[in-house]
Amino acid sequence: MPRFLASDRVQAAIAAVAARQHGVITTAQVLSCGLTSPGITNWVRAGRLHRVHRGVYAVGHPGISLEGEWMAAVLACGPAAVLSDLSAAMLWRMLEPRSALIHVTVRGGGGRARREGLVIHRRSTLPPGQSTARDDIPVTSTARTLDDLRRNSSTAEYRRALRQAEYLRLPLDDAARADADGTRSGLEAEFLSFCKRHRLPTPEVNARIGPFTVDFLWRRERVVVETDSYRTHGGAVAFEEDRKRDLWLKTHRHEVVRVTDRRLGSDPHGLAISLRAILARAVAA
């Protein structure tokens, strides 16, 4: 009877750990729950444990969620590992979750051997502020995730993730927002490309004027363009802040033009004509 109760307690302990980890568990955790190495072998044969990676098992059945796959990948790479890059962006919902190779960052010079289905990034440092947890899965912070995407993914994918992060109001820093061309969002990057396509003079990007940073500035002409999307400028607080900024700029003899994502997409030719006229008028004044 005591032997049966001990086995029952072991099963309950293993189930509890797996429940906290999206259905997966490591060999070390199974052993700490009281199951022996021969017991692990027997559980695998009986279909109670299913190998996901070396040293990591799904408990009860092999069909685990995408979150379970991400957790298993991190567990397989050791205690210093975190989900990163494209996989982290999917976990943060910056990009649409999909089945793909799983990216894991291992801190320090060491690291696990190559694992099938995983892309392991070995990075010398990952400060504590650049890693966190989401849904109990160790993951790079939102800012670090975007920084990794900018360096290792396509420009289009990075900008798509940045725009979604802004929409979700995820915590970002200036380094995460700033692209190589100085833009801090997909809409800003689109406007800068629009200027090049229509051969408008190249503006300063995210330029400082007095107490404010404006999206685009033609300094000599004293013309400012602010790119607006409801997703990033919606709400009463943002509305009031935008008007306060506009009033200050106009008081200091700057013309402010607000360009929406809809206008940029639906009437680029008309917008180019209007901006060219505004800039010409400013030079003549």
Q: Give the whole-angstrom CA distance, residue 242 versus residue 207.
A: 16
* Token pair belonging to 169: 């109001």
Domain boundaries, the chain: 8-59, 66-177, 186-284
Q: What tens digit of pLDDT does each residue of 169-191 get? A: 888 776 555 555 777 777 888 89
Its CATH architecture, for the domain 186-284, is 3-Layer(aba) Sandwich (3.40)
Helix (H) or strand (E) holding 213: strand 212-218
* Token pair belonging to 61: 């059945």
CA torsion, ordered 203, 206, 207, 211, to nearest 10 deg: 150
Provide the whole-model pTM.
Answer: 0.66
Q: What tens digit of pLDDT does each residue of 81-124 get? A: 999 999 999 999 999 988 889 999 998 755 555 788 999 998 87
DSSP letter string, 147-206: HHHHHHS-HHHHHHHHHHHHHTT----HHHH--TTS--SHHHHHHHHHHHHTTPPPPEEE
Q: Give the whole-angstrom CA distance, residue 91 versus residue 84.
A: 9
Look at residues 116, 164, 120 and name the one whose alpha carbon lies nearest to residue 142.
164
234 falls in which pLDDT band (50, 70, 90)? very low
